[in-house]
A and B are shown apart, each in its own frame.
Chain A
């Protein structure tokens, strides 16, 4: 039953997330060191004041069960604590403010990559050995193997530093004030172009290579031969028979990729100083802002779980055998 299938998968996802919360707690506590020791580097802070800070942060209490219970309880209520670096800001606020830019950047990048990558892969597989296949496959391999930051830096040097077509960094021009949403979008789009292009180019290679091999495999299936025997045009065979089946493996790849949005965001965002979760992760790492890092890890792992859930659902819809 479809409902039972969905409920079961939802239940599994919830359990996984709870386990992630606990592992997340243990992982960060397992790291040696204690956040209050940095205060000791300041000659003007008294030992009494350091002790007060330990009590305030609750790190004078036993790790298990006191701190664990407190952490899981707080997390379930959406309280992830306070950022060390951005003083006085709750981690949830810090992360929430960075979520939008990342979703925008990667949403657009994924959309472009899905379109172009799948089309390119399907065409290359269909016309295997043709010029598009040879060139397309070569380019795909290069793009696939190139790290995001390198691709980003190359685009930055060519289109921002040399040609001056696009700005170097940020989501909008610093210092710009916008009278209308139109003016805002007009400033946002040029800033968005290079980062989105980087994400899209990086993914196109991956998607097109997978789509190509998937199409080639499908084309050797018997029902394709049957379709040919029926006299259906080649174009129709590709569109109506080969493509839908060849899409199955790519759907799971794409859905899983969506879960890695944050992880993938890190290098692209840092190159373009894009104010998203990726830049936040690097900032939190360099500032040793553990509460924020912990929050980002949580968001990251939950999004992977959710993406897998979505992949299952879509797969179930495309291929009824999965549901039974």
Chain B
């Protein structure tokens, strides 16, 4: 055997390394002696980055509202509250809104934060609108463009005057973070809006903001670390730092919560959530989602060459209404969501307590196949001799049904629906479609580039803002070719949509929204299947003061603004009763080590065992080396 000294020393090094791996836990020292109280949050969503215009997911919104203030914030019941602005008034004609900006406010870097910064931020959107650009993913600027933003002026450091093209209810709830002009003005609109531009401004840490925490470290795909903003104007929570970590594996996130490696978990799967319920030291929260999953019918009114629906029936409200009687929504909640959700009714979820209107008892549908059958026949969809339901052209109805691959649980829903509608004599051919393909299939001829709206029914979901506007907009006629996936068109609904967006009086606006919800329920452009629950859980051994936002049906974090973080208090020093805490060895941990709660800090009681293990490995390795050396010697002798 050719065995040079170099090769051998490499082996020895490798062995030393391996022994070190085995012994390492025993050598780990307890850190976090700095005494910093760190809130560790786990989420299932990946970060899009720190440039707020690029936000796509809930976690992105969470991040920018930690860093920055909105002009107007949200309180514990999602009512408006002061934030960057302390008060606001709208002129009688509804076209001019004047915001009073908090006096003496400072950015986290010590620069004064004034109306000038707010004007700069809003002006970015006006410039983008003028150039027909979207800013990043188009969600944040969309709030202001849909509000009809026309001009913005800072008349003095504490006064911001905003003019809109029409009276609007959408300006105050515009979810737009106010950015520091002295940082952002160094970049062009293109460098801010376009993530692929040369010199794109990613807003890498340390971020300068006015929010309660500002990002100081970002490891893409992994975690984001926030430190207290020393200049924050409001009450601050007990956490000195906040770290949001992304988990690709739900089970690992739940184990980390159990082990105390994180304090809060968002987006827990139903099974894992059920296993956490009732576990001491852990509180589970089943919040209502601000959105819904739906089954859409292709309501495109005309025939499309080489595409369109397979039958005109899906464009008929009477047919859709009848089929909606053939859907057992409570059963879907039970079987698809393991009970974590509520059956769907309106296109506005009950989460929007201010605007949601349940259908009146006399029109509310339930699961009744006999009634569905009756309604289908009455609407002119009769069965043939073999029990097949025929459309008005006398053709047996076979509906294609699909859903995006990213929403795998909808496959279960499809199985049930296929069976129920099968009982009505309607054949359903169900199959999943890759998201991008589905998006193309949903594109109607009006879009650019034009599509063929090639589907009959499909399932997906919508998610809303605090304001109901964005959940209503996909159903107006103007959106056919845009966000509309039902191609439904109703003149009264369109008219009300326009009016409600311009009505500042909430009672009056609610009346309009009620009528819109009634029209929607009657015409069934889509069937809201269910409102999925938001499954979160948190530990109570290190932080107290957890409060849901909204108080009814909300969750403590990942809602609207940083309120939940600012309410947190440090839990008492007394040990918690949680079994995982009780079994976690605490030897060698200083009292402040509770602040990290990391199991690495508590491994020292296993030192003995690991030492023995290490010794065994060492003996084995040394033995091998000696044997080898002997072998090498023998080769030379041969």
Which residues of A line the B interface, CB within 8 A?
Answer: 31-35, 37-53, 56-57, 81-82, 85-89, 94, 97-98, 108, 111-112, 115, 119, 153, 156-157, 160-161, 163-170, 173-177, 183, 186-187, 189-193, 196, 232-233, 235-236, 239-240, 244, 270-273, 275, 279-280, 282-283, 286-288
Contacts of B252 in A (CB 8 A): 156, 168-169, 270-273
Does residue B474 face the partner (Cβ distance < 8 Å to A)? yes
Question: Can you report 23 residue pairs joining A to B where beta carbons are below 8 Å apart?
Answer: A34-B436, A47-B481, A56-B196, A85-B48, A87-B51, A88-B51, A88-B200, A111-B18, A119-B624, A163-B606, A165-B610, A166-B25, A167-B259, A168-B599, A174-B40, A186-B24, A189-B25, A190-B25, A190-B28, A232-B638, A240-B1, A273-B253, A288-B436
Complex formed: what's the CA distance from A173 to B225 in Å? 13
Cβ B634 vs Cβ A236 within 8 A = yes
Cβ B448 vs Cβ A175 within 8 A = no
7 further A-B contacts with Cβ under 8 Å, apart from A97-B219, A175-B40, are A37-B439, A41-B483, A44-B142, A177-B31, A186-B24, A189-B21, A235-B631
Cβ B634 vs Cβ A283 within 8 A = no
Contacts of B49 in A (CB 8 A): 86-89
Cβ B54 vs Cβ A88 within 8 A = yes
Contacts of A112 in B (CB 8 A): 18
Q: Which of B47, B136, B255, B437 has the most CB of A within 10 A?
A: B255
Q: Which of A39, A43, A50, A176 has the most CB of B within 10 A?
A: A43
Interchain residue pairs A-B with the least CB separation, the first 8: A33-B436, A44-B142, A189-B24, A37-B439, A87-B54, A43-B483, A43-B473, A88-B195
Contacts of B514 in A (CB 8 A): none
Cβ B138 vs Cβ A39 within 8 A = yes
Does residue B387 face the partner (Cβ distance < 8 Å to A)? no
Does residue B600 face the partner (Cβ distance < 8 Å to A)? yes
Does residue B431 face the partner (Cβ distance < 8 Å to A)? no
Contacts of B195 in A (CB 8 A): 82, 87-88
Q: A40-B439, A52-B132, A235-B631 known; A108 and B247 CB under 8 Å?
A: no
Cβ B436 vs Cβ A161 within 8 A = no
Q: A44-B146, A280-B221 known; A169 and B247 CB under 8 Å?
A: yes
A81: min CB distance to chain B, Å: 8
Contacts of B439 in A (CB 8 A): 33-34, 37-38, 40-41
Cβ B406 vs Cβ A193 within 8 A = no
Does residue B139 face the partner (Cβ distance < 8 Å to A)? yes
Q: Which of B48, B219, B243, B482 has the most CB of A within 10 A?
A: B482
Q: Which of B222, B585, B606, B631 has the most CB of A within 10 A?
A: B222
Cβ A175 vs Cβ B479 within 8 A = no
Complex formed: what's the CA distance from A187 to B598 in Å? 11
Cβ A164 vs Cβ B46 within 8 A = no
Q: A86-B49, A156-B255, A173-B600 known; A43 and B448 CB under 8 Å?
A: no
B209-230 contacts to A, CB under 8 A, are: 219-223, 225
Q: A88-B49, A240-B638 known; A187 and B31 CB under 8 Å?
A: yes
Contacts of A81 in B (CB 8 A): 196
Q: A88-B200, A193-B25 known; A174 and B223 CB under 8 Å?
A: yes
Interface string of B495-510 (1 = CB under 8 A from A): 0000000000000000
Does residue B534 face the partner (Cβ distance < 8 Å to A)? no
Does residue B32 face the partner (Cβ distance < 8 Å to A)? yes
**Which of A87, A175, A279 is the one whose CB lies under 8 Å from B596?**
A175
A194: min CB distance to chain B, Å: 11
Complex formed: what's the CA distance from A283 to B38 in Å? 26
Cβ B145 vs Cβ A44 within 8 A = yes
Contacts of A239 in B (CB 8 A): 1, 631, 634
B255-286 contacts to A, CB under 8 A, are: 255-256, 258-259, 261-262
Interface string of B17-48 (1 = CB under 8 A from A): 11011101101110110001010100000111
Q: Which of B14, B134, B483, B580 has the most CB of A within 10 A?
A: B134
Q: A53-B134, A86-B48, A240-B638 known; A175 and B243 CB under 8 Å?
A: yes
Complex formed: what's the CA distance from A271 to B598 in Å? 18
B605-628 contacts to A, CB under 8 A, are: 606, 610, 624
Q: Which of A40, A41, A81, A279 has the most CB of B within 10 A?
A: A40
Cβ A165 vs Cβ B202 within 8 A = no
Cβ A40 vs Cβ B483 within 8 A = yes
A176 nearest in chain B by CB position: B31
**Which of B139, B221, B262 is the one whose CB lies under 8 Å from A279?**
B221
Cβ A175 vs Cβ B600 within 8 A = no
Cβ A49 vs Cβ B1 within 8 A = no
B439 nearest in chain A by CB position: A37
Cβ A44 vs Cβ B139 within 8 A = yes
A236 nearest in chain B by CB position: B634
Contacts of A31 in B (CB 8 A): 434, 436-437
Does residue B603 face the partner (Cβ distance < 8 Å to A)? yes
Cβ A236 vs Cβ B138 within 8 A = no
Cβ A45 vs Cβ B29 within 8 A = no
Cβ B21 vs Cβ A43 within 8 A = no
Does residue B635 face the partner (Cβ distance < 8 Å to A)? yes
Q: Which of A35, A56, A57, A164 has the most CB of B within 10 A?
A: A164
Complex formed: what's the CA distance from A236 to B635 in Å? 8
Does residue B443 face the partner (Cβ distance < 8 Å to A)? yes
A44 nearest in chain B by CB position: B142
Contacts of A38 in B (CB 8 A): 435-436, 439
Complex formed: what's the CA distance from A40 to B252 in Å? 34
Cβ B142 vs Cβ A42 within 8 A = yes
Cβ A43 vs Cβ B470 within 8 A = yes
Complex formed: what's the CA distance from A46 to B473 in Å? 13
Contacts of B245 in A (CB 8 A): 170, 174, 273
Complex formed: what's the CA distance from A87 to B221 in Å? 11
Contacts of A240 in B (CB 8 A): 1, 631, 634-635, 638
Contacts of B443 in A (CB 8 A): 37, 40
A283: min CB distance to chain B, Å: 6
Contacts of B251 in A (CB 8 A): 153, 271
B388: min CB distance to chain A, Å: 31
**Which of A35, A47, A183 is the one whose CB lies under 8 Å from B482?**
A47
